[in-house]
Structure formats: structure tokens, C-alpha cells
Amino acid sequence: MSPRIAWFNLLGFGKSLVRMAIALGVLLAIAYGIKQAIEHTFHRNPDFRLQVIDLSPNDVLDEAGLVEHLGIDLASNIFDFDVAAMRERLLEISAIESAKVERELPGTLVFKIKTRKPIAWIASPEEGHSATRAEGSLLVDRDNFTYPCPTNQLQEATQLPVFILAADPEHPVRIAKKLAHPQYRHCARLLTAFRSSFPEDISMIDSISQEKEWSLDLKTRPGTIARFGLGDHNRQLDYLARALHHARRNSYEIATINLIPKRNVPITVRREDTPPRAIPVSEEMLSGAGESSQADNDLRSLLNRN
């Protein structure tokens, strides 16, 4: 190739580079213009400044707690917020089951929150989870998910029973995890049967635990300890309701009752010098207990008092 031809090729390549540079510059200028237009139309537009925080009613976060948790600048424009990141931050609170964050023009951030609904407290003293009903203590919901009790759920949650679980290295109790503990499943099954039979009387249960492989102990808040099997709960709950009603009518207090036998149900009675305590029982729980002397006779035939 002659030097002249090589020079013309080089000039042609240089002109191509110049044209490409000019085109790139035009594109960058257009992109910058679009960006400035968006900034002016949305981000710098005072019409879109944050004016309202619309938070769905819930028992975990109020507006002040929401602003603090998300670090919301109340003077910001609603387009300055990353709504996807805000949703992820909300889900870091284990008491929140689901969350949705949306912008609503001209100046509203909408937060739709669904919180977990507890069914019981979880205690495992050997694993550091004490049997206390307090803020930060462990709750479990219907999906077997554990989470620390938030402040706003405490008052209602104090009416729930405590499941006391033994340490199980294969199924440890962990915060913000699903429970797979076998004792938990047995306790939850008994609570479900109790709730089905006596939905208004959940607050009378203090705790449920599995002391033996073949039985469960339900302790009432007044102090009666009722022993249940791992099944046949409806019959055993009927026996318990009738026994508590019988004790109430005849002015004695049951200390322990073993509901597993179908006949000759063993019970122990508190000593006479023990101050009596009322056993709160709803009308629904009493409705199947019976009022006739025949019902009392039938119950006496079941009970083996010690």
C-alpha cells in the first residue's frame, strides 16, 4: 500500500471517530436533558413533597415507629424514596408477616402491613427462653413462626398460654424461625381442641407442657394441673369441664386431675387450710356440665378423689 493511500485511510478513520464522538455527545446531552426534566418534574416539584403517611391499622407499628424504623425524612419528595427497599426494611421486623409500600400522587406514601397473630408464648428455659409474658419474650403464630413480642401486642397476648418445651438439639427453638419441635406440635394440638370447645376460656390456661412422652400437663391460672393424653382431647376436655363445675358447686378445689382414664378418673383436692381460689369458667363451658343430681352421680362414678 502506498503512503498516499494509507494517509487517506487514516483520515477516513479519524472522520468516523469524530462522527461517533459527536453522536455520543448528542445522546449524552439528550439523556442529561431528560434527567433534568425528570428531576424538575418529579423530584424537585414541590407538589410531590411528602404530605401524608397512610399506614394501615396494625398492632406492631404506629406512624411514629414507622418513621423512626425507616428513617423517613418528612421534608423529602415521595420520589426520593426507594419503596422496594422500604418494604424489605419492614419485613426485617419478625412480627410483620407481609408489607406493601406504594406512592399515591401527589404526596402520599401508603403502607399496607399484615402482622402475625400469636396463639401462645414459647418457653424453653434450657435454651434461654424464660416462661414470662413480657415484651420481647417469644410468641408463636398459627404458622408455627416465632417472634419477639412487640409492645403493642403485649396486652392482648397476656391472655395466651405458655408452651413449655424441653431442649431438643435436633429441633432447637430459634427466634424468627418456624418451630419443628415435636412437643410444640402436641401442645398446639391440645390448644386447638380447647379453643374449639371453649373459645372464650383460653385465658384460663396458664401453661401446657409435655412432662412425659405419653401425656401433656395443662395448668390453669388458679393452679389446677390436668393431665391429658396425646389424643382423645374432646372427651378429656368434657371431663375437665364437668369436674371443675362439680368442684365449684361443692366448694372444693382440684389440685390435680388425670383425664386419660375413661373411668375412675383420679384427682387430688387442695387441703382445706389452703385459701380457695375461684376458677373462672364461662357459661359456655358450663353448659355441658349438667345441673341435675343424676349428672352429679355420674361424675362421682368417674372421679376417684384422694
pLDDT at 9: 66
pLDDT surpassing 80 at residue 8: no
Between 264 and 120, residue with greater pLDDT: 120
Query: What would the pLDDT profile of 41-51 be if each residue is shown by its tens digit?
Result: 545 566 789 99
Mean pLDDT across the chain: 85
pLDDT in tens, 227-274: 999 999 999 999 999 999 999 999 899 999 999 999 888 999 987 555
What burial letters (b/e) apply to 97-125, b meaning 16+ CB within 10 Å? bebebeeeeeeebebebebbebbbbbbbe
pLDDT at position 281 is 46
C-alpha cell at 277: 381460689
**In the 8-state DSSP scheme, what is residue 40?**
I
The answer to whether 267 and 304 have CB atoms below 8 angstroms apart is: yes
In the block, cell 411528602 appears at 50
CB 209 within 8 A of CB 161: no
pLDDT for 1 beyond 80: no
Q: Is 52 helix (H, G, I), strand (E, B) or coil?
A: strand
Q: What pLDDT is stored for residue 178 in this prediction?
A: 96
- Give the pLDDT confidence score for residue 218 in this predicted structure: 98
Q: In what order do the strands lie in the sheet with 52-55?
A: 52-55, 108-115, 96-104
Q: How many of the other CB atoms lie within 10 Å of CB of 151?
A: 13
222, with CB counted inside 10 A (0-12, 13-18, 19+), is middle
Q: Residue range 3-7: average pLDDT?
A: 63
pTM of the model: 0.77
Which residue has cell 390448644?
191
294 three-class SS: helix
The CA distances from residue 221 to 31, 126, 278, 279, in Å, are 70, 23, 10, 8
Q: What are 262-290's pLDDT values in tens digits?
A: 988 899 998 755 544 444 545 555 455 44
Query: Would residue 144 be called left, alpha or beta, if left means φ above 0 and alpha means ψ between -120 and 50 degrees?
Result: left
CA distance 126 to 128: 6
pLDDT in tens, 65-100: 999 999 999 989 999 999 999 999 999 999 999 999
Q: 117-121, 224-228, 295-299: which range is least confident on average? A: 295-299
Q: What is the pLDDT of residue 34?
A: 53
pLDDT score recorded for residue 10: 64
Q: Please say whether the beta carbons of 111 and 101 come within 8 A.
A: yes
291 band by pLDDT with thresholds 50, 70 and 90: very low
Judge if the upstream peptide bond of residue 106 is cis by omega within 30 degrees of 0.
yes
CA dist list (Å): 26 to 13, 198, 245, 284: 20, 76, 89, 80
Residue ranges of domains in the chain, CATH in brackets: 46-115 (3.10.20.310), 119-305 (3.40.50.11690)
